[in-house]
């Protein structure tokens, strides 16, 4: 037995750092492709502090067509269906449905658009194996190279590469929030009608059409300077802000003033910046909140604008985003 352990140790120390880095990179590529390519149905559990919620999720691909569905299992009932870029969201208790076209993402949206430059700001390292939802998984640690982002620990299905669990970690290794499959079936047959059927049945619902418009920060009179290291702008849309509430009361999307949303990413974490006029929000007060890993900063920008910055990043990162925002003189 001692000889066996010595032999194993020799093999482990013979693996070069370059080889280990290559293996971590290969796993990241597998995670990225698996989120788009594999069909699955399962239950995901999200934990942030004392908040625990679960959702039933499914993803199917047929050729170039993508189908997804999600149903919240806790709290206010909500069902979301997606066919490519068309998204229908339903709130049964209020009999309200929203219809929107937006960028196609997967149940793990970041992994469908993984930035290869992620290694500039994270060190990726394989740290072992584990079992999640009854499946063998490889564990990958993403350690930040600076203070602008959190560490993340990822569990990828050993057979398919599908993400089974992800933890966001504070500097001391404390888990801030976690998303994980409690059970999952991978390789299921496509169930297109389970998505398309509900999307067609809109009779009896109050349907609110959401019409975001792609734009550019410069076009809207804004620019950013000295962003936190590694973050890049990935998209800007002008859209109504808010959704119908549980009673269907009208924070009506059709009546909301246009709000500018800019999304930034470092290849793993995302930050959204919402810019809106101060009109109608005069009673707001500056605010900084945290739930799990998600920080939200609400703060005025000059005399005319109100800015909300949110993301799974440290509070200091959000403050830097707010400071980086520059309004073009009128």
Phi-psi domain of 274 (left: phi exceeds 0; alpha: psi -120 through 50; beta: other): beta
In this predicted structure, what is the pLDDT of residue 117? 76
Return the ∠ at Cα 271 (arms to 268 and 276), rounded to 5°: 160
- Residues sharing a CB contact under 8 Å with residue 178, sequence separation 6 or more, in sequence order: 45, 46, 47, 48, 165, 166, 167, 168
pTM for this entry: 0.84
The tens digit of pLDDT for each residue in 90-136 reads 999 999 999 998 764 333 444 445 666 788 999 999 999 999 999 99
Assign domain 211-327 to its CATH superfamily.
MucB/RseB, C-terminal domain (3.30.200.100)
Distance CA 182, CA 132 (A): 7
Beta bridge partners of 151: 169
Which residue in this structure is represented by tokens 């032999």? 7
Domain coordinates in residue numbering, the chain: 12-186, 211-327
Is the domain defined by 12-186 classed in CATH 2.30.40.10?
A: no
The two counts, helices (H) then strands (E), for the chain are: 4, 21
Confidence of residue 78 (pLDDT cuts 50, 70, 90): very high
Phi-psi domain of 302 (left: phi exceeds 0; alpha: psi -120 through 50; beta: other): left
In this predicted structure, what is the pLDDT of residue 256? 55
188, two tokens: 């299921």
Strand order across the 305-311 sheet: 213-214, 232-240, 258-265, 270-277, 305-311, 294-301, 287-291
The proportion of the chain whose per-residue pLDDT surpasses 90, expressed as a percent, equals 68
Is 211-327 in the same CATH topology as 12-186? no
92, two tokens: 């049964």
Confidence of residue 252 (pLDDT cuts 50, 70, 90): very low
The tens digit of pLDDT for each residue in 301-321 reads 998 999 999 999 999 999 999
């Amino acid at each position: 037995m001692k000889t066996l352990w010595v032999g194993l140790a020799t093999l482990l120390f013979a693996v070069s750092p370059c080889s280990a880095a290559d293996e971590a990179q290969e796993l990241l590529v597998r995670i990225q492709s698996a989120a788009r390519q594999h069909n699955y149905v399962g239950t995901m559990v999200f934990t942030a502090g004392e908040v625990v919620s679960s959702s039933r999720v499914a993803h199917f691909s047929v050729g170039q067509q993508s189908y997804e569905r999600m149903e919240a299992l806790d709290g206010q009932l909500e069902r979301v269906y997606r066919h490519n870029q068309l998204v229908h969201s339903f709130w049964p208790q209020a009999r309200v449905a929203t219809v929107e076209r937006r960028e196609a993402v997967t149940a793990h949206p970041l992994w469908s658009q993984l930035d290869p430059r992620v290694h500039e700001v994270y060190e990726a390292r394989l740290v072992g194996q584990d079992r999640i939802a009854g499946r063998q998984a490889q564990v990958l640690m993403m350690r930040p190279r600076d203070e602008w982002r959190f560490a993340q620990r990822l569990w990828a299905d050993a057979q398919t590469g599908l993400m089974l669990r992800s933890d966001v970690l504070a500097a001391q290794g404390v888990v801030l929030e976690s998303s994980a499959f409690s059970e999952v079936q991978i390789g299921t047959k496509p169930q297109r009608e389970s998505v398309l059927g509900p999307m067609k049945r809109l009779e009896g619902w109050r349907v609110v059409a959401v019409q975001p418009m792609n734009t550019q920060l410069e076009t809207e009179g804004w620019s950013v300077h000295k962003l936190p290291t590694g973050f890049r702008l990935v998209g800007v849309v002008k859209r109504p802000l808010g959704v119908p509430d549980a009673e269907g009361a009208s924070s009506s999307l059709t009546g909301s003033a246009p709000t500018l949303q800019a999304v930034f990413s470092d290849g793993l974490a995302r930050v959204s910046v919402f810019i809106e006029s101060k009109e109608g929000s005069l009673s707001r007060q500056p605010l900084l909140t945290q739930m799990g890993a998600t920080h939200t900063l609400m703060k005025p920008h000059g005399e005319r604008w109100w800015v909300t910055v949110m993301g799974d990043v440290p509070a200091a990162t959000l403050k830097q985003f707010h400071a980086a925002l520059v309004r073009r003189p009128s």
